[in-house]
Amino acid sequence: MSFSISVNQNQYVTYTLSDESASSRLEVVPERGGIVTRWSIQGQELFYLDQERFTHPELSVRGGNPILFPICGNLPDDVYAYDGKSYSLKQHGFARNLPWEVVEQSTESSSKLTISLKSNDETLAVYPFEFQVKFVYELEGKTLKIHQEYINQSDKVMPLSFGFHPYFLVPDKEKLSLDIPASTYQAKDSTEVVSYKGSFDFNEDEIDVALKPLNGSSASITDSSRSLKINLKWSEDFSTIVFWTVKGKDFVCLEPWSAPRNALNTAENLTELQPGASCEALVEIDVTSL
């Protein structure tokens, strides 16, 4: 059988989804923020992972594909107001730091792992809404699909944004070409709208820009040094692509966000779910050889 899921007790319980026919393996660590930590195809790693940081639960993960919810990016002073009260939410929200629960597994026509995060006392203190988030990680061949469902279980309208922060392994950024469906961007902490010409200067110490508005629903990274092309696709729920990289680090991040940073305060592209309502979204990553 081509599809399988194995479970190993490392520092954290790790689920490995496999498609043997494609030599494709995906590692998911539910208790460490529901994160995909590794994905290898024919022995080639797709994601960067800072293994040292990963071993420390008090540090945020740098690598893999962290989950962003209920905000993307940061809020000024980490603060937002709701119903006359101030609340504090740290950058990218809390989903990436909390343990998720495995609720279902399937290996019939693909390797599928369903995980869930529910509101609790800890989340209600900083985000006063009862919710459930369900993800299905689906691996088939050289394609990873992340099916998402965001459910408002409270009796009031729930504002949220959501996204991902994939760290793609890139040993040589000079051998990289990008295809992102946007013509303008804003750098972090800047209101200036800059024209995007299709490339960045990787000699800068850090690049952290939000590309919007989007005029398409797919982007790609072509890495000629490794003879592969990574294609990223998303459903219409996503409004913004953030590109982030740091000089001297072997990664670039191409991040689909449903709303830009600070949307809880500005309401820009903010998703607002009615009581009892839900929304579904999809992000898909596939890899082709050059």
Q: What is the pLDDT of residues 140-177, one digit of tens each?
A: 999 999 999 999 999 999 999 999 999 999 999 999 99
Distance of CA 253 to the CA centre of its chain: 10
Distance of CA 173 to the CA centre of its chain: 21
Question: What is the predicted pLDDT for the residue at 10?
Answer: 87
Is a pLDDT exceeding 70 seen at residue 127? yes
Domain with 181 in it: what CATH number?
2.70.98.10
Q: With the C-alpha atoms ordered 84, 87, 92, 98, is the resulting torsion angle positive or negative?
A: negative
Question: What is the predicted pLDDT for the residue at 1?
Answer: 65
Which DSSP string corresponds to 209-227? Answer: EEE-S-SSSEEEEEETTTT
What gap in Å lies between CA 40 and CA 268, rounded to an integer?
36
Summary mean pLDDT of the chain = 96
Run of H or E including 136? strand 131-140
pTM comes to: 0.97
Q: Are strands 3-9 and 67-68 parallel, antiparallel or unpaired?
A: unpaired
Number of structural domains the chain divides into: 1
What gap in Å lies between CA 23 and CA 9, rounded to an integer?
22
pLDDT, tens only, 257-273: 999 999 999 999 999 99
Nearest to 235 by CA among 219, 259, 218, 255: 218
Question: What is the predicted pLDDT for the residue at 169?
Answer: 97
pLDDT, tens only, 21-60: 999 999 999 999 999 999 999 999 999 999 889 988 888 8
Containing structural domain, residue 86? 3-289
